């Protein structure tokens, strides 16, 4: 009896009701933690973005300069800080000279605005008193400004809190860059073998979406900023350099960014006019609006598909609703990240939908090896080879 060998017994499986209950409890716990620690989510997202952008820079420095990984990471942070610090120091003197060259008569501009807002307009039989609207607007702004002026203590607390969050972002992004490969391998090793093909396909699709977003959005913003700056100087748009930079930054707000820029440019054209074209201000405003409407179609139908690609090409209504939802859920940070988040959700939603209804789905072999992470996020990942 003592020498008898024990037969291996198959480990009992959890029944389906137990799996369902535990899954629902885990989902509920995740929702509770997200609500309880929601204040940490925006800084954590910023840290992930910084790590995503600086990770290839650190790898390149470590490979080219034969530096230890930690030293390469620190050097990449120093380069990023220098770039961010030098950009305003180069732009601000240029803007100062541009402002002085305009020789603006602020008194005349204020008089024009006051006369325009002090009139009564009749539209479709209705009389609109803009002076009353102006008084209400001024009273509302005073109500917003007065409490802010007296909150010196809260301002100091806010500055200290911002400093703490900056330190948090730096530490988290640093360790994400440092331990990124280990975290990727850990996630891959915890995928069940039967679903590794699905994981490979989903991760590849989502990675291409975010690669296309970061690479394409930076290139698109630079191209649009150059185009608008040149057009601004050619037409005599006031503050052409500022408006060009603003146009590039607003490319991170799909659909609504064009409307914001056109509104600001139209106001400048109407109240200041062209710096050299001898035409009435209202005619110059119409020229600016017309050219911008033409460029908007050129941007949507030519620049965005060719620079960013079709993976982020979403219907404008979907993008606008996503931007509003992102602003409500995540504040300012949710606005520029709405488009790639929606595109990623579209991929995951398509996968879930296909599996729920047993529909055909892109065939992926479960034995397919997981793709290695692309170290260069600014380059388009190579297309998958055709499967036989």
Q: What is the DSSP string of 297-352?
A: HHIIIIIHHHHT-STT---HHHHHHHHHHHHHHHGGGGTTTHHHHHHHHHHHHHHH
Answer yes or no: do 264 and 198 share one domain: yes
For residue 100, pLDDT over 70 is answered with no
Cα–Cα distance measured from residue 311 to residue 212, given in angstroms and rounded to the nearest whole number: 8
pLDDT tens digits along 184-214: 788 888 888 888 888 888 888 888 888 778 8
Residue 388 pLDDT grade (very low, low, confident, very high; cuts 50, 70, 90): very low
Query: Domain check: are 335 and 227 in the same one?
Result: yes
Indicate whether 90 pLDDT > 60: yes
Residue 292 has pLDDT above 80, yes or no: yes
Q: How confident is the model at residue 156 (pLDDT cuts 50, 70, 90)?
A: low
Q: How far is CA 308 from the centre of its chain?
A: 13
Tell whether 283 and 238 lie within a shared domain. Answer: yes
Say if residue 215 is in the same domain as residue 364.
yes
The pTM for the full model equals 0.64
273 falls in which pLDDT band (50, 70, 90)?
A: confident
Give the chain's largest Cα–Cα span: 110
Residue among 43, 61, 2, 325 nearest 169 (CA): 43
Looking at residue 375, what is its pLDDT? Answer: 42
> What pLDDT, on the 0 to 100 scale, is given for residue 288?
92
In 3D, which of 312, 271, 306, 313 has the Cα closest to residue 288? 271
Within a domain: residue 305?
A: yes
* Residue 201: predicted pLDDT: 84
Instruction: Compute the distance between CA of residue 125 and CA of residue 235 in angstroms, rounded to an integer.
Output: 37
Residues 101 and 249 in one domain: no
| Domain shared by 236 and 320, yes or no | yes
pLDDT category of residue 364 using cuts at 50, 70 and 90: very low
Query: Are 206 and 174 found together in one domain?
Result: no
pLDDT at 380: 42
The predicted structure's pLDDT at residue 144 = 52
Residues 83 and 199 in one domain: no
**Res 160: pLDDT:** 75
284 and 316: one domain? Answer: yes
- Average pLDDT over every residue of 276-299: 89
Domain of residue 248 covers 194-379
- Whole-number Å distance between alpha carbons of 250 and 281: 25
Together in a domain, 309 and 369: yes
pLDDT of residue 227: 92
Q: Are residues 173 and 291 in the same domain?
A: no
Considering the domain boundaries, does residue 28 fall inside one?
no
Q: Are residues 335 and 211 in the same domain?
A: yes
Comparing 53-57, 205-209, 230-234, 252-256, the range with the smallest average pLDDT is: 252-256
Number of domains in the chain: 2
**16-20, 78-82, 112-116, 157-161: lowest mean pLDDT where?**
112-116
Q: Which residue has tokens 């930054």?
A: 249
Phi then psi for residue 366, to 5 deg, are -65, -25
């Amino acid at each position: 009896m003592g020498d008898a060998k024990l037969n291996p017994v198959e480990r009992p499986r959890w029944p389906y009701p137990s799996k369902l209950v535990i899954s629902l409890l885990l989902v509920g716990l995740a929702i509770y933690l997200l609500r309880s620690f929601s204040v940490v989510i925006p800084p954590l997202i910023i840290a992930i973005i910084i790590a995503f952008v600086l990770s290839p820079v650190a790898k390149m420095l470590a490979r080219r300069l034969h530096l230890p990984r930690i030293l390469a990471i620190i050097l990449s942070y120093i380069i990023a800080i220098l770039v961010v610090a030098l950009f305003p120091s180069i732009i601000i003197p240029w803007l100062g000279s541009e402002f002085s060259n305009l020789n603006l008569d602020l008194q005349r501009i204020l008089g024009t605005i006051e006369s325009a807002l002090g009139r009564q307009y009749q539209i479709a039989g209705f009389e609109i008193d803009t002076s009353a609207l102006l008084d209400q607007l001024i009273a509302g702004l005073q109500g917003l400004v007065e409490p802010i002026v007296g909150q010196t203590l809260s301002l100091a607390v806010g500055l200290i809190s911002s400093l703490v969050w900056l330190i948090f972002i730096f530490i988290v992004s640093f360790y994400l860059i440092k331990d990124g490969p280990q975290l990727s391998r850990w996630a891959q090793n915890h995928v069940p073998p039967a679903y590794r093909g699905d994981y490979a396909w989903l991760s590849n699709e989502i990675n291409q979406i975010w690669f296309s977003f970061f690479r394409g959005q930076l290139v698109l913003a630079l191209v649009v900023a150059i185009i608008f700056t040149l057009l601004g100087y050619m037409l005599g748009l006031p503050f052409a350099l500022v408006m060009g930079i603003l146009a590039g930054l607003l490319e991170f707000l799909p659909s609504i960014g064009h409307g914001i820029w056109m509104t600001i440019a139209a106001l400048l054209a109407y109240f200041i006019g062209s710096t050299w074209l001898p035409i009435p201000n209202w005619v110059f405003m119409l020229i600016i609006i017309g050219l911008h409407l033409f460029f908007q179609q050129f941007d949507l139908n030519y620049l965005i598909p060719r620079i960013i690609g079709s993976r982020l090409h979403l219907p404008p209504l979907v993008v606008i609703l996503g931007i509003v939802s992102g602003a409500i859920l995540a504040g300012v940070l949710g606005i520029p990240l709405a488009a790639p988040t929606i595109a990623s959700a579209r991929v995951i939603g398509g996968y879930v939908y296909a599996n729920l209804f047993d529909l055909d789905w892109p065939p992926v072999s479960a034995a397919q090896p997981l793709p290695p992470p692309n170290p260069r996020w600014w380059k388009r990942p190579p297309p998958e080879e055709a499967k036989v």
